[in-house]
């Protein structure tokens, strides 16, 4: 009797319908709308990223190990790769500082500094274009300007100043110069909204309470701007650290391998029969770690800035 009832229950409703009814509560049809995107992301970003993480943290037999990562720090044979990390860190710090300062000054000029509205619009437009101009065209533009046979080089030489061979566009400082070029617009674009959010009433209030200009900047402006500044600088750093095209075009694959980590990673591509395939994974994973940390700082700072901005509305 019971057996007949069970058989009737199982066959009376299609199996698929029963499965659908038995699914967990949160798995609604709504997920279908976002599924294509997430599947795509899984294939084209999450999968590769996970693969790199696994490749970096395991050895040939599949056991988890920090060996690959430690080798970059310790192994003498990997001096080139180690140098690439140090050099890239240096380049990123230098260009973040330079781009940050110059970008901030320009951003300040077009917001609090009182430059005309038309100038502000033109600067913002140009920054939008300039930050997209980065990469190969930028490198070529710098070579055209102050490369060995560049127009500015010639112009300076004709008045007696010869910058070569002391300076070369294909060097560490050439790369720094080119990077600064796209760091400045990024800084401007990121700092203009927070600077716009500063109120002139605060300056009046400070004046009322007898604050000097220095005190105003040190005790009022700077603390307020600090989270936005920090997030902007973190973004610039991440930007510089992960850059590839500009350095590649200026320095080339050979010298670039010891100068920029991204070129170092790229160099691992052609090595199908390398002694340690995990080196490429470790280098790539290292990049993700460094930039990941920077982006964490960026996110945290931004949230602090947002929270503060909301609290004063």
Partner 1 sequence: MRRTSRLSWLWLVLVGIFMLAPLLATLQLSLQAEMRSGVPISLKAYVDAVSNPRGIPTFDFIGHLSFSFFAALLTIVISTLLLVPTAYWTQLKLPFLIPVMEFLTLLPIVIPVVVLVFGLETVYRGQFLTNSTQGLYWLMIGANVVITFPYSYRPINTALQAINVKTLTEASQSLGAGWANTLFAVIFPNIWVGVLNGAFITFAIVMGEFTISSILGLPTFSVLMYSSSTNQVYQPAALTIISFGITWASIALLQFVGRRSAVADLAGAR
Stretch 159-198 residues interacting with partner 1 (CB under 8 A):
181-182, 184-186, 189-190, 192-193
Instruction: Give yes or no for a contact between 194 and 107, defined as CB atoms under 8 angstroms apart.
Output: no
Q: State yes or no: residue 297 binds partner 1 (CB under 8 A).
A: no
Selected from 133, 164, 172, 216, the binder of partner 1 by CB under 8 A is: 133
Contact flags string 48-77 toward partner 1, x per CB under 8 A:
xx-xx--x----------------------
Task: Give me the least distance between CB of 145 and partner 1, in Å please.
Answer: 3
Q: State yes or no: residue 30 binds partner 1 (CB under 8 A).
A: yes
Instruction: Give yes or no for a contact between 183 and 104, defined as CB atoms under 8 angstroms apart.
Output: no
Measured from the CB atom, the residue of 78 and 130 that comes closer to partner 1 is: 130
Q: State yes or no: residue 224 binds partner 1 (CB under 8 A).
A: no
Bridge partners of residue 180, in order along the sequence = none
Rounded to whole angstroms, the maximal C-alpha distance in the chain is 108
Please classify residue 118 by burial: count the beta carbons closer than 10 Å to its beta carbon, then call 0-12 exposed, 13-18 middle and 19+ buried. exposed
Site for partner 1 in 10-29 (CB under 8 A): 28
CA–CA separation, 257 and 103 (whole Å): 29
Handedness of CA 143, 146, 150, 151 (dihedral sign): positive
CA–CA separation, 290 and 69 (whole Å): 13
Site for partner 1 in 243-282 (CB under 8 A): 243-246, 248-249, 262-263, 265-266, 268-269, 280-281
Q: State yes or no: residue 114 binds partner 1 (CB under 8 A).
A: yes
CA–CA separation, 21 and 18 (whole Å): 5
Selected from 20, 43, 90, 212, the binder of partner 1 by CB under 8 A is: 43
- At 221 the three-state DSSP class reads helix
- Residues contacting partner 1: total by CB under 8 A: 92
Q: State yes or no: residue 237 binds partner 1 (CB under 8 A).
A: no
CA–CA separation, 174 and 153 (whole Å): 13
Measured from the CB atom, the residue of 57 and 106 that comes closer to partner 1 is: 106
Selected from 94, 134, 175, 233, the binder of partner 1 by CB under 8 A is: 134
Measured from the CB atom, the residue of 108 and 308 that comes closer to partner 1 is: 108
């Amino acid at each position: 009797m019971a057996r007949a009832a069970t058989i009737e229950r199982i066959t009376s409703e299609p199996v698929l319908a029963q499965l659908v009814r038995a699914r967990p509560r949160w798995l609604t049809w709504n997920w279908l709308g976002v599924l294509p995107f997430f599947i795509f992301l899984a294939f084209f970003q999450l999968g590769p990223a996970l693969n790199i993480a696994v490749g970096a943290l395991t050895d040939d037999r599949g056991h988890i190990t920090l060996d690959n990562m430690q080798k970059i720090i310790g192994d003498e044979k990997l001096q080139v790769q180690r140098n690439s990390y140090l050099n890239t860190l240096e380049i990123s710090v230098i260009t973040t500082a330079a781009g940050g300062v110059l970008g901030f000054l320009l951003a300040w000029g077009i917001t609090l500094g009182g430059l005309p509205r038309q100038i502000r619009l033109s600067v913002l437009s140009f920054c939008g274009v300039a930050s997209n101009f980065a990469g190969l065209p930028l490198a070529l533009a710098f070579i055209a300007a102050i490369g060995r046979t560049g127009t500015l080089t010639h112009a300076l030489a004709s008045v007696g100043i010869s910058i070569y061979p002391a300076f070369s566009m294909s060097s560490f400082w050439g790369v720094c110069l080119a990077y600064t070029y796209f760091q400045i617009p990024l800084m401007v674009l990121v700092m203009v909204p927070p600077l716009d959010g500063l109120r002139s009433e605060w300056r009046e209030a400070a004046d009322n309470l007898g604050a000097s200009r220095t005190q105003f900047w040190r005790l009022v402006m700077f603390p307020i701007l600090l989270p936005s500044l920090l997030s902007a600088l973190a973004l610039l750093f991440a930007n510089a650290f992960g850059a590839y095209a500009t350095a590649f075009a200026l320095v080339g694959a050979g010298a670039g391998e010891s100068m920029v980590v991204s070129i170092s990673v790229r160099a691992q591509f052609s090595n199908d029969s390398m002694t340690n395939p995990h080196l490429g994974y470790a280098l790539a994973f290292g990049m993700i770690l460094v930039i990941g940390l920077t982006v964490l700082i960026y996110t945290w700072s931004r949230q602090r800035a947002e929270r503060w901005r909301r609290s004063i509305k």
